[in-house]
Amino acid sequence: NDWFSQIFPVLNPIAPYFTACITIDRFLSSCPDANLRRLSSRPQTAYIVIPIVILMTSIAYIHIPIRYTIIRSICQPVPGFYANFFPFFTTGYYFFAIILIIIFGLGTSYNIRSRRRRIQPLVNTNRVVERRRARGDAQLLIILFVHVICYAALALPFHITLMIAAIKPTLAVNIIFLFAQQITFVTLNLSQSISFYVFTLTAKMYRKELINLIRRVKDHYWH
């Protein structure tokens, strides 16, 4: 389907940018500045940010319907400069989100450590609350960094094959190379569906919530 082939490259980069937005939200919520923390605590912020991310990505890839064409029954960039430009563009755009995740993830870690040094709980109750909060923040950071590793490991091979094909066009008709590229395309798709497994396997609080959800469903339908 020509329409789907043109819209699909726009969908791939959206997932890491949503994860980057989560990282930025964690960074803002851990900032010592009260004004920045308020930005994170407003529920309506998500309703603004999500459409902006989708619109931004759509505008960034608006050239696809114009510069893509059907070649050998496959939707591909038009041969020439654009065919060489697109692999580097889409790789840079995708991994810019990964860089944002790393930067704001490290910033969040710094904010959390600074807050621990500043706050000296006066009673045991406060100490317990602070410990729970720190544990939750630590788990969220682990989730984010595991996301980075998974995104890089699963998406990087596909983008590498795109750049190799742009540098050496003769490989675009090599059967072995095309087979390898199809395998990397599968891993790229897997990178879009790892969130559930990252959340449940990395963070104990998500496993607890999943178990509670299963129990509630079981009690509601099979009690």
Q: Read off the pTM.
A: 0.75
pLDDT digits (tens, 9 = 90+) for 111-167: 877 776 665 554 455 666 666 666 766 777 777 778 788 888 888 899 999 899 888
Axis-axis angle for helices 195-202, 204-222 (nearest 10): 100
Axis-axis angle for helices 124-167, 81-118 (nearest 10): 170
Q: Which domains does the chain have, with CATH numbers?
A: 2-222 (1.20.1070.10)
In DSSP terms, 71 is beta-bridged to: 74
HSE (side-chain half, CA atoms, 13 Å) at 104: 23
Tokens of 127: 């100490």
pLDDT for 117 equals: 66
Asked if the model's pLDDT at residue 76 lies above 70, the reply is yes
- Count of positions (residues) in the chain: 223
pLDDT for 127 equals: 63
Asked if the model's pLDDT at residue 96 lies above 90, the reply is yes
pLDDT digits (tens, 9 = 90+) for 194-204: 877 887 887 77
Query: How far is the CA of 15 from the CAs of 19, 130, 188, in angstroms?
Result: 6, 31, 11
The dihedral sign for the CA sequence 128, 131, 137, 140: negative
Burial call 51-64: b when 16+ CB within 10 Å, e when fewer: eebeeebeeebeeb
pLDDT for 183 equals: 93
Residue with tokens 């729970």: 132
pLDDT for 205 equals: 75
Instruction: Say which residues have a Cβ less than 8 Å from residue 77's Cβ, sequence separation at least 6.
Output: 67, 68, 69, 83, 86
